[in-house]
């Protein structure tokens, strides 16, 4: 019986799965996670665009993209539009790529900006990282979509490698992959929760998991053949199934002798592309005893031919493993030279017929007729069979064994090579009269070897020695020999311009080279960088360009500016989102080591003022007394050298900001300090993340300055009129020059930074805040035509810098973080009016005069801090109107997950409440209630902006907790089994500031819990709070042995909690911050009759939480057990044991708790300061005569 509906096409089968598991995780890559419903929406949107290009039945849609989520979406969209996807390899040089596109003639090609430049033809493009455009000039009337049971139409076209001649487009109809996947599901099925890494044969793998509810994890191109990176990905992504070539597996095993410890989740490993040696099979079974190893034999023209479990079918005495039993034995034929079937055990040429065959070679009727011949063994009209070119025999055990290639074709790393063609080319182009080419070695060492007879006319005794232009000495060559050996040729014959691949190198040997170079140089050198410049010269230069380190992977980060406003939030975000130790440079005139306590005090004072201090901060923070204006930062040569050796990333956010001081006064800290930071980075190879400003550019035109905007040096004195902007411009030039010389650098240009979007905490020296506050105090606001205000919240800027510091793949050097669309100040004062701060409008000169009289004069005003700011420098109208706008179009794709808060009444309410709390305003803001009514002051508590996950949120205590946290301004992820109930809960929430997402989750399924946490981290941010409310309760008599209910109790109440803890606690501990709250019960303190197993499960909860609390004491994690008494929840109606219900479960009429009572107690515990631990909360009604418990 088929596992899937084999009468539907691939697109229809995917839609069926979307409907079955809409909230299961479907697709992941490095930056995105999509559920089935979200993926379906993406596919539908792109398919609609493709239809505008005339895509329909048998139309081809080219896909030229890196291996990522976008690639999967593009393929599915091509199918949804009724067409077929055309695989365009990134490795194609421009001319072969143009040949393939001309041959296939796709209706449109899906690509990105980085790859679009490779396309020389005039084919229409859909560039995914550019705004969508209409398909002008293309299909006006859309053709009808093909029927979903039309399995003979094209699904995809993939071109052969061309190792046996010119590449051929292998055209496969839907029928072939549908039946192929069904066969593989019958061998090894998939289900929701399985995680499949799509690796070597990417296109072959990306659709199959989506037909069974599993999760696709795309393996980036640079990790596919890098054993270290690949194993890291398989481990970190908890992969349960993947595919490798035998050569790749051999390389992985040689690099990771204890691979089982790294791949504990791997249950299935498919091997394909080459024969599997018995030696490799033995090593693999030993290394991965828990994984099922499946040896699969296939061809692009036939899909799967044979497959079997290696553990069941290899002979230790044989050299190679069989490829398994034929999957369609009726259509698998071994024939002799006359085309007759041979007996079992006799070798012959392998032919394959049946319904899995490709349709044709695209536009190659002669090649198609030669490879796909009439099938004399099948009476079906038009039946064909494919000539594989392999020699095979059927063993007595029924297993198929591949014994060689017809015409001695050699299989090398998944490619078929005709040795005769290689021999002919050698004789033709070299001084050789005879030549024989064979394969030598196994695994990574397998290569082609040519045995030659020299031409008689050539000089047989001639010795050829080639040296490069620098005249390498023998000593130098000996030094280079261990490195050059990876080119697999003698060192004396190597020239700087020789190409690694032309000399016999391949992807796996390149991975080996990258690994060894990385180890020798002490930092990561990627395969992709070596492949970009595959000559010796290029490889020798690559390490100097490979030192870029992401902040999340750094063990030590140097941060400057931490006693300032932005720097404090950068420190907070570094501690929250990384595990690095942070060295904070604190300025002292004459820095010495004894200044460290003073540095701690200054940082603590600043963070306390901003609401960021917690005692655990100093566990990962080291104080470095220094001075940016001094050589070597004021450090001794030894200390400077030691610091350079320790630091992998430098975030340079320190600067002296003063719009009055001239260049000379600011040159020392702003220019000299940057120079010394770059000197430090060059000495140790650290990556520099430099925080710049919009002040390096003059007031901008309407659309703002793009990221590559840069003033020429001659323009600076005329267009940058203040010393601060001039020094930052010079500092930027130093950073860019260091980048040109090979130092990894990035520049982050910020605009005007305002207060925190959740807490409102503000920079006390902010001019714009002072103008707004003083306008409110006066009751009059300036009315200046063209005065636009930028108010970019500091938390957005700090999070964006940290996130962008992880985008090591981005070639872009400069990122823009300012607001590209500053708000008109008239709108700001209109919003303030809604909050209870009415102002009359005055012209600027009138407003200044009124302010001077009422607030700015010695006699007038009350001496507020904002008064002092304006007294020290009242701006001019030209200054107000001369805003520098930063266009961020090129930055947005790289920081898309960091959402910019809107400047609206919600944000202004946050700011004005903070200003009131600081005493700058006479009264708090008002906010109109959502359902009318009077305006009421709104207070935002300490939980605002935090991220929480609530399980069991569909009803009862969980739903009440969700509502309470939403009211507190918390970003909440709601989880439960019942999706409709979750949606109903979300509709009822009063969400004023936070964001709420819902995820269907069964806590007894560990993979679903992990998916929930990944979604929360991706959509909301790092999780600060876990509230575990999922639970069940059954009244049962022990004598009645209600096994099913007992097991369910243990699964949900015990295992569910453990799944939640394992998915949250490690990350919280790494950030030294987090709060675990779990619903226990008063039955976890005392056993109640009729609730024996339930009480036992709650005793388990108490023991688990107590142990967690004791083991993590002092590490920033708080753990709270909430023990409700009798509470009105759905749990009271779950029991089926009539005797137990009658005896112990009938309500007595006594007062019981509402879920909101329990939720309020949880909020109380969460709101306490970091130094206060609420370990247990026992909450009961005043009268507790009821028998049943919660």
Q: Cβ of 513: how many Cβ atoms within 10 Å? A: 20
> Given the DSSP bridges, would you call strands 971-976 and 996-1000 parallel, antiparallel or unpaired?
parallel
Q: What is the 3-state secondary structure (H, E, C) of 999-1032?
A: EECCCCCHHHHHHHHHHHHHHCCCCCEEEECCCC
Tell me the C-alpha distance between 1035 and 684, whole Å.
Answer: 66
Element at 179 (helix H, strand E): helix 175-187
Burial (0-12, 13-18, 19+ Cβ within 10 Å), 176: buried
> What is the residue whose two structure tokens read 């050829």?
464
Give Cα separations from 410 to 38, 346, 400 (angstroms).
45, 21, 19
Q: Distance from CA of residue 689 to its chain's centroid?
A: 20
| Backbone phi, psi, residue 79, to 5° | -70, -40
As given in the structure block, the two tokens for residue 1161 are: 């107690």
Helices (H), 1081-1130: 1092-1111
Which of these is catalytic: 487, 1094, 1144, 1188? Answer: 1094
Crossing angle for the helix pair 673-684 and 723-740, to the nearest 10 degrees:
20
As given in the structure block, the two tokens for residue 235 are: 């481990």
**Letter string b/e over residues 826-863, b meaning 16 or more CB atoms within 10 A of that residue's CB:** bebbebbebbbbebeebebeebbebbeeebbeeeebee
Q: CB of 431 within 8 A of CB of 395? A: no
In 3-state terms, what secondary structure has residue 749? strand
Tell me the C-alpha distance between 390 and 407, whole Å.
Answer: 9
As given in the structure block, the two tokens for residue 693 are: 């400003």
Tell me the C-alpha distance between 361 and 104, whole Å.
Answer: 11
Q: CB of 685 within 8 A of CB of 547? A: yes
Give Cα separations from 516 to 255, 475, 527 (angstroms).
11, 21, 11
> What is the residue whose two structure tokens read 């011949």?
373
> What is the residue whose two structure tokens read 């019986």?
1
Tell me the C-alpha distance between 313 and 268, whole Å.
Answer: 17
Q: Which residues contact 1028 (CB under 8 A, 6 or more apart)?
A: 951, 952, 1003, 1056, 1057, 1060, 1076, 1077, 1078, 1079
Q: Which residues pair with 582 in a beta bridge?
A: 557, 621
Q: CB of 78 within 8 A of CB of 61? A: yes
Largest CA distance in the chain: 114
Cα 707–711–715 angle (5° rounding)?
A: 160
Q: Which residues pair with 411 in a beta bridge?
A: 416
**Letter string b/e over residues 146-173, b meaning 16 or more CB atoms within 10 A of that residue's CB:** bebeebebbbbbbbbeebbeebbbbbbb
- Reported residue count of the chain is 1190
Tell me the C-alpha distance between 1056 and 479, whole Å.
Answer: 58
Closest CA to 776 of 825, 823, 838: 838
Crossing angle for the helix pair 767-778 and 825-834, to the nearest 10 degrees:
50
Q: Let me know if 487 is a catalytic residue.
A: no
In 3-state terms, what secondary structure has residue 116? helix
As given in the structure block, the two tokens for residue 1048 are: 């369910």
Tell me the C-alpha distance between 815 and 828, whole Å.
Answer: 27
Tell me the C-alpha distance between 384 and 1029, whole Å.
Answer: 61
Active site members: 1094
């Amino acid at each position: 019986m088929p596992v899937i509906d084999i009468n539907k096409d691939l697109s229809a089968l995917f839609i069926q799965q979307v409907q079955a598991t809409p909230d299961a995780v479907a697709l992941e890559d490095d930056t995105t996670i999509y559920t089935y419903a979200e993926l379906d929406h993406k596919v539908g949107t792109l398919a609609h665009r493709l239809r505008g290009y005339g895509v329909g039945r048998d139309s081809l849609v080219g896909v030229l993209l890196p291996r990522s989520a976008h690639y999967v979406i593009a393929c599915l969209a091509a199918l949804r539009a009724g067409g077929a996807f055309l695989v365009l390899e990134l490795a194609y040089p421009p001319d072969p790529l143009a040949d393939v596109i001309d041959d296939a003639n796709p209706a449109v090609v899906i690509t990105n900006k980085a790859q679009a430049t490779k396309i020389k033809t005039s084919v229409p493009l859909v560039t995914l990282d550019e705004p969508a455009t209409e398909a002008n000039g293309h299909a006006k009337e859309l053709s009808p979509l093909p029927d979903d049971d039309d399995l003979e139409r094209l699904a995809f076209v993939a071109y052969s490698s061309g190792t046996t001649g010119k590449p051929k487009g292998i055209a496969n109809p839907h029928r072939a992959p549908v039946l192929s996947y069904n066969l593989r599901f019958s061998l090894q099925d998939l289900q929701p929760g399985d995680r499949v890494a799509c690796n070597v044969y990417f296109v072959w793998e990306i659709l199959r998991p989506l037909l069974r509810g599993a999760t696709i994890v795309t393996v980036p191109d640079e990790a596919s053949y890098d054993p270290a990176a690949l194993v890291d990905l398989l481990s970190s992504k908890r992969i349960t199934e993947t595919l490798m070539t035998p050569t790749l597996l051999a390389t992985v095993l040689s690099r990771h002798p204890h691979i089982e410890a790294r791949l504990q989740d791997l249950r299935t490993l498919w091997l394909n592309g080459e024969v599997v040696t018995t030696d490799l099979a033995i090593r693999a079974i030993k290394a991965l005893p828990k994984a099922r190893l499946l040896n699969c034999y296939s061809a692009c023209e036939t899909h799967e031919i044979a497959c079997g479990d290696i553990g069941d079918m290899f002979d230790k005495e044989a050299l190679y493993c069989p490829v398994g039993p034929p999957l369609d034995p009726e259509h698998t034929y071994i024939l002799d030279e006359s085309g007759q079937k041979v007996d079992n055990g006799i070798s012959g040429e392998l032919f394959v017929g049946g319904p899995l065959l490709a349709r044709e070679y695209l536009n190659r009727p002669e090649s198609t007729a030669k490879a796909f011949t009439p099938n004399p063994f099948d009476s079906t009209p038009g039946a064909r069979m494919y000539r594989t070119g392999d020699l095979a025999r059927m063993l007595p055990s029924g297993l198929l064994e591949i014994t060689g290639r017809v015409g001695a074709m050699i299989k090398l790393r998944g490619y078929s090579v005709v040795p005769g063609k290689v021999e002919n080319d050698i004789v033709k182009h070299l001084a050789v009269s005879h030549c024989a080419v064979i394969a030598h070695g196994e695994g990574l060492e397998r290569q082609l070897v040519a045995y030659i007879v020299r031409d008689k006319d050539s000089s047989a005794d001639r010795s050829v020695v080639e040296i490069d232009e620098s005249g390498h000495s023998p000593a130098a060559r000996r030094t280079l020999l261990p490195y050059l050996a990876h080119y697999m040729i003698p060192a004396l014959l190597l020239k700087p311009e020789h190409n690694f691949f032309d000399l016999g190198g391949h992807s796996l040997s390149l991975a080996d080279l990258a690994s060894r170079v990385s180890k020798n140089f002490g930092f990561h050198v990627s395969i992709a960088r070596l492949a970009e410049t595959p000559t010796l010269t290029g490889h020798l230069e690559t390490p100097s360009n490979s030192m870029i380190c992401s902040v999340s992977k750094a063990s030590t980060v140097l941060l400057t500016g931490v006693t300032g406003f932005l720097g404090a939030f950068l420190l907070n975000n570094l501690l929250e989102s990384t595990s690095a130790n942070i060295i904070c440079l604190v300025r002292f005139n004459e820095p010495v080591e004894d200044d460290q306590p003073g540095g701690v005090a200054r940082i603590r004072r600043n963070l306390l003022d901003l609401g960021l201090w917690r005692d655990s901060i100093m566990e990962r923070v080291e104080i470095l007394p220094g001075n940016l204006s001094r050589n070597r930062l004021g450090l001794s040569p030894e200390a400077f050298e030691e610091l350079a050796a320790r630091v992998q990333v430098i975030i340079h956010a320190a600067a002296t900001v003063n719009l009055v001081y001239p260049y000379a006064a600011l040159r020392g800290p702003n220019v000299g300090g940057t120079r010394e930071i770059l000197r430090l980075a060059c000495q140790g190879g650290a990556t520099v993340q430099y925080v710049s400003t919009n002040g390096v550019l003059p007031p901008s035109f309407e659309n703002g300055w793009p990221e590559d905007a840069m003033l020429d040096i001659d323009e600076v004195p005329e267009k940058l009129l203040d010393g601060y902007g001039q020094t930052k411009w010079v500092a930027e030039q130093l950073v860019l020059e260091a980048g040109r010389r090979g130092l990894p650098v990035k520049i982050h240009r910020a605009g005007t930074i305002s207060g925190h979007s959740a807490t409102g905490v503000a920079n006390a020296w902010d001019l714009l805040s002072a103008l707004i506050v003083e306008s409110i105090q006066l009751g009059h606001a300036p009315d200046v035509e063209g005065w636009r205000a930028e108010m970019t919240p500091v938390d957005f800027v700090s999070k964006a810098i940290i996130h962008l510091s992880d985008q090591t793949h981005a070639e872009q050097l400069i990122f823009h973080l300012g607001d590209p669309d500053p708000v008109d100040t008239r709108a700001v004062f209109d919003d303030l009016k809604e909050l209870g701060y009415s102002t009359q409008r005055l012209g600027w000169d009138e407003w200044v005069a009124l302010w001077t009289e009422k607030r700015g004069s010695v006699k007038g005003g009350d001496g507020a801090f904002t008064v002092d700011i304006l007294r020290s420098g009242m701006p001019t109208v030209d200054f107000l109107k001369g805003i520098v706008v930063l266009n961020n179009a090129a930055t947005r794709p790289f920081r898309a997950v960091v959402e910019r808060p809107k400047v609206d009444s919600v944000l202004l309410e946050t700011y004005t409440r903070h200003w009131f709390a600081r005493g700058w305003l006479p009264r708090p803001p008002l906010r109109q209630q959502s359902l009318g009514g009077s305006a009421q002051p709104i207070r935002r508590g300490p939980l605002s902006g935090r991220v929480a996950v609530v399980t069991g949120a569909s009803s009862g205590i969980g739903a009440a907790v969700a509502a309470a946290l939403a009211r507190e301004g918390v970003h909440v992820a709601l989880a439960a089994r019942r999706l409709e109930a979750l949606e109903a809960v979300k509709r009822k929430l009063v969400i004023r500031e936070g964001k709420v997402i819902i995820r269907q989750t069964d806590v007894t399924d560990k993979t679903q819990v992990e998916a929930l946490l990944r979604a929360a981290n991706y959509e909301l941010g790092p999780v600060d709070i876990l509230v575990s409310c999922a639970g069940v309760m059954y009244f049962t008599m022990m004598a009645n042995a209600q096994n099913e209910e007992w097991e369910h109790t243990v699964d949900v109440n015990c295992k569910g909690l453990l799944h939640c803890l394992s998915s949250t606690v490690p990350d919280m501990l790494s950030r030294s911050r987090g709060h675990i709250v779990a619903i226990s019960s008063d039955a976890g303190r005392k056993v109640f009759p009729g609730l024996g197993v339930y009480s036992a499960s709650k005793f388990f909860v108490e023991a688990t939480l107590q142990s967690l609390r004791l083991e993590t004491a002092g590490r920033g994690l708080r753990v709270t057990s909430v023990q409700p008494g009798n509470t009105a929840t759905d749990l009271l109606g779950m029991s089926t044991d009539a005797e137990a219900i009658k005896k112990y479960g009938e309500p007595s009429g006594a007062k019981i708790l509402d879920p909101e009572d329990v939720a309020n107690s949880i909020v109380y515990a969460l709101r306490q300061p970091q130094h206060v631990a609420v370990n247990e909360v026992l909450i009961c009604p005043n009268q507790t005569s009821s028998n049943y418990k919660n």
